[in-house]
Structure 1
Amino acid sequence: MSVADLDTSTPGAGARVAPAPGPVSALPTHVDIAVVGGGCAGLATAVRLATAPGTPSVLVLEGRSTPDPRSWCSWDDGSDPLPEARSASWDRWEVRTDGGTSTGSDPEHPYVLVRAADRLAAATRRAEAGGSVRLVDGAPVAIVRDAREGQDRRDARNGRDGRNARDGQGAIVHTALGPVHADRVLDARGPRCPEHVEPGRVLLHQRFVGRWIATERPVFDTTTATLMDFGGQRPDGPVRFVYVLPVSPTSALVESTLFTPDPADPFDHEEHVTRYVGDRWGLRPDEWRVVDEERGCIPMTDAPVQRDARWAATDVVAGTTRPSSGYGFARTNRHSAAVARHLVDGTPVPAFVDGPRTRFLDAVFLRFLRDRPEQAAEAFGRLFALPGPLVVRFMSERSTLLDDLRIVLALQKRPFLAALGRTLADAVVRGRSWVRRVHPVRGDRP
């Protein structure tokens, strides 16, 4: 079944009926800007480009030809260029542990759900109204080549220098629907989980399976989003919890999440959700059904983002996911303004880089999650027991030094001091590795 089977009178129901772009007979031969990927970053950038000076022609190439089941969440900071695509929101949230429940609220910055189909529908309406942006699905991109590669070879054969010619600039985007010449190409496909990182770095895989479920009787409290429920967390296992977004009394996203260093961890997410639904709401198997599903892996790492070597002719939107939490929606929306500006100006798109304080705090927290997973539930419980606006400022990178100090003092002292020591030790390891690469000793040379 698909999400179209849900009652369209429920909040966020646009995601169930939002149309996808129709079939495309041919792509344009040339555009000013090609955006590869019609997800969060791609659509945010395209919408900003639609109102940019000079009205550049923009082609968004999405590889999927079927409805996108993904969703994104964040606390609303006013940065979303498509606010009309909001699917649902909550002023109140909670974190459940075996030791109790922590609740928070910040009505000025509600917790927001945006489903991919709602966002695509809103972006499509904007594109149709403006006329300079074209959205195409079912157009996976195999490779992007610098247009000068072929032009330089042709010019060499003909004895001329064509580097300044229009047809020798930009890149050729090779898609399943044919090639497109673009002056600028943006890779907006989102983060991929790396297989490994260099010594002195941390890599956890945030693996999840979210199941949209419909129930025969009303059981969900639509006033409160459950950000984490650690009930049944095993002391000897990785961090695991359930995430619940209730959009109506009979409809909710119930998501099983795991923070694991093992990319092939055999954890059964589907069974975890099934057991949780029965335990929390007392629902028998015949009283609920799965109507849609989303799954994925979010990298949680302090390692620099690696770009795809096959896409050397592109600018890249990457690294916007916060390493310590996996949240990236609001960060991507904020960064899209700078991305669009640089694309229009013809200047290189800057990498998304957190400030030193944020990078340091995230590095310490990642090591805590890796080394002390059995204490993660208590840490998150303590964090979300703090005043809601303080937590939201911290989660959305708007916290002050005093805010950060309050949060640090609220967490467990000994395990975080150990994580701090490990962070400093890892920095030394990375420094030595860098020195060996830059100044290899005789025995290190090939």
Structure 2
Amino acid sequence: MVQDNLSFDYIIIGNGLAGLQLALELSKDPFFKSYTIGLIDPSLKDINDKTWSFWEIGAGKWDAIVEQTWHTAQFVSPGISLNIPLLEYNYKTIRSLEFYKAAKSQLATHSNIKFIVDSVEDLQEGITSQVIGKKQTYTATHIFDSRVPKEFFDAKADHTLIHQHFKGWVIETDTPQFNPEAFTMMDYRFQYKDSTSFIYLLPFSETKALVEYTFFTPFTVASEVYEAFLKRYLLEEYKLENFRIVETEVGNIPMTDFPFWKYHTKNVTKIGTGAGWVKGSTGYSFKHTEKNVAKLIANIKAGHAPSDRLFKWKYKFYDKIFLKVLHDENENGVWIFERFYSKNTIQTMFRFLDEETSFSEDLAIMKSLFSMAFIKAFFKVLFKF
């Protein structure tokens, strides 16, 4: 519709997971064939800056770029060791660089889509809204904005925040060390003090793996803490003193009950992390993003606000309780996850985390986690919800 090189029907701010998934789905739908779309990001997205993992049943739409698939999960703590067949589910991982390359390649074939390398400094809303970049000013009828609202950083006392922070190495060894048939979801034998902290391991082959030290905590730590635990794990578990680090991955994913949905406006729809699409209780985002993009597009085509009913309130309530427990009694994290993995079927766990459970399934999960910590958190959240 719009023809000017600086004017678009839609502008998407941020070429991350949400922005590119949204652009891909818009480009595939004939309904939006005549719409012009500008994608603005200061980065060329030409490095591997993260790894996305997710579960799904059978084949999926991203299989062409999936690096590895596993059918068995392991959970280890000082108290239990579980080998969990995933049954009909597959656990898959994608390197972000492969996703960026595939998305950009597909979008480059559409003449109505333009990539813009610029930093967004401000927005001005109106009948035609303005995106003020460092280099240029752009206009759009509607803006999809993946940036986290500045209020998130200014009002921490008003919401619960758990940092999912981690450092990981992709390592290679000269001799076979890993079992590529099973990945380790959590290994709590290497805890930092009394915190919720664990090893996460994705074995790509017998000689190559991503090994990550992860925290779910209200605090963060220095880089050397992760590295010390990674070295200790590799030495104690695999007797590895010599290995090659071929990639390093560092991140901090907000697990939070911040009310991102309040920051949608008539002309600006928040997406991705900036819209709360990262699940508060787990930090998983890949499949939640896919689902939310599909709902968002269906809303537009039906004449509704793009953000209309993108989430279910009961899961926001459950997440708030879980986050409150982790925040107030972080030392109980290992007990929580022991119960979650040992007392529920894999189908129930994945359906719950995918926000697809019935109320009877919810009750089964709650029963497995029943404790004074959750009772206290329930009432604290109930009176604030």
Q: Which interval holds the TM-score relative to the shorter structure?
A: 0.7 to 0.9
The one-letter code sitting in structure 1 at the alignment partner of 2:180 is T
1:191-225 superposed Cα distances (whole Å, 9 cap, x missing partner): 897465345x4221111112222222221111111
Where does residue 58 of structure 1 map in the other structure?
A: 37
Structure 1 residue 33 and structure 2 residue 10: aligned? Answer: yes
Change (3 A) 1:378 1:278: same
Change (3 A) 1:381 1:293: same
1:4-36 superposed Cα distances (whole Å, 9 cap, x missing partner): xxxxxxxxxxxxxxxxxxxxxxx9322221111
1:65-108 superposed Cα distances (whole Å, 9 cap, x missing partner): 34141121111268975443322221111111011212323343
Contact 1:319 / 1:352 at 8 angstroms: preserved in 2? no
1:308 offset after TM fit, Å?
Answer: 7.5
Where does residue 156 of structure 2 map in the other structure?
A: 197
The one-letter code sitting in structure 2 at the alignment partner of 1:197 is K
The one-letter code sitting in structure 1 at the alignment partner of 2:329 is R
Contact 1:208 / 1:257 at 8 angstroms: preserved in 2? yes
**Which of 72, 76, 83 is residue 56 of structure 2 equivalent to?**
76
Give distance in 2, aligned partners of 1:248 and 1:29. 47
Give distance in 2, aligned partners of 1:245 and 1:406. 29
Give distance in 1, aligned partners of 2:352 and 2:153. 27
Listed as ranges, the matches of 1:107-126 within 5 Å are 107-126=87-106
The one-letter code sitting in structure 2 at the alignment partner of 1:181 is T
Structure 1 residue 90 and structure 2 residue 70: aligned? Answer: yes
Structure 1 residue 316 and structure 2 residue 267: aligned? Answer: no
**Which of 10, 16, 19 is residue 42 of structure 1 equivalent to?**
19
**Which of 331, 352, 361 is residue 288 of structure 2 equivalent to?**
331
Where does residue 223 of structure 1 map in the other structure?
A: 181
1:337 offset after TM fit, Å?
Answer: 1.3
Structure 1 residue 340 and structure 2 residue 297: aligned? Answer: yes
Change (3 A) 1:281 1:350: same
Contact 1:47 / 1:81 at 8 angstroms: preserved in 2? no
Give distance in 1, aligned partners of 2:322 and 2:32. 44
The one-letter code sitting in structure 1 at the alignment partner of 2:12 is V
1:123 offset after TM fit, Å?
Answer: 1.2
Contact 2:296 / 2:310 at 8 angstroms: preserved in 1? no
Structure 1 residue 253 and structure 2 residue 233: aligned? Answer: no
1:303 offset after TM fit, Å?
Answer: 2.9
Give distance in 1, aligned partners of 2:42 and 2:73. 35
Mean Cα displacement is larger for which, 212-221 or 33-42? 212-221
1:409 offset after TM fit, Å?
Answer: 2.6
1:113-163 superposed Cα distances (whole Å, 9 cap, x missing partner): 122111112212321344433344x432222223x4xxxxxxxxxxxxxxx
Give distance in 2, aligned partners of 1:178 and 1:304. 31
Where does residue 232 of structure 1 map in the other structure?
A: 190
Where does residue 99 of structure 1 map in the other structure?
A: 79
Where does residue 259 of structure 2 map in the other structure?
A: 304
Give distance in 2, aligned partners of 1:393 and 1:40. 22
Listed as ranges, the matches of 1:276-425 within 5 Å are 276-284=233-241, 287-305=242-260, 314-317=268-271, 318-342=275-299, 347-350=304-307, 354-385=311-342, 386-411=344-369, 413=370, 416-425=371-380
Change (3 A) 1:131 1:87: farther
Give distance in 2, aligned partners of 1:296 and 1:312. 32
Change (3 A) 1:319 1:179: same
**Which of 26, 36, 47 is residue 67 of structure 1 equivalent to?**
47
Change (3 A) 1:293 1:214: same
Change (3 A) 1:78 1:131: farther
**Which of 207, 217, 231 is residue 165 of structure 2 equivalent to?**
207
The one-letter code sitting in structure 2 at the alignment partner of 1:305 is F
Q: TM-score, normalised by structure 1?
A: 0.75
Mean Cα displacement is larger for which, 34-43 or 360-369? 360-369
Is there any run of 5+ residues in structure 1 with no aligned partner, and where? 1-26, 149-168, 432-446
Give distance in 2, aligned partners of 1:265 and 1:306. 32
Give secondary structure in 1 for the equivalent of 2:201: strand
Contact 1:335 / 1:352 at 8 angstroms: preserved in 2? no
Q: Which protein shows a greater Rg?
A: 1
Give distance in 2, aligned partners of 1:330 and 1:97. 27
Change (3 A) 1:99 1:418: closer
Give distance in 2, aligned partners of 1:108 and 1:143. 46
Structure 1 residue 271 and structure 2 residue 250: aligned? Answer: no
Contact 2:14 / 2:146 at 8 angstroms: preserved in 1? yes
Aligned length: 374
Identity of aligned residues (%): 24
Structure 1 residue 141 and structure 2 residue 115: aligned? Answer: no
Q: TM-score, normalised by structure 2?
A: 0.86
Contact 1:80 / 1:330 at 8 angstroms: preserved in 2? no
Contact 1:369 / 1:376 at 8 angstroms: preserved in 2? yes
1:359-378 superposed Cα distances (whole Å, 9 cap, x missing partner): 33222222222233333223
Q: Which has the higher contact order (CA 8 A, sep 6+)?
A: 1
Change (3 A) 1:61 1:108: farther
Contact 1:37 / 1:188 at 8 angstroms: preserved in 2? yes
Give secondary structure in 2 for the equivalent of 1:399: coil
Structure 1 residue 181 and structure 2 residue 157: aligned? Answer: no
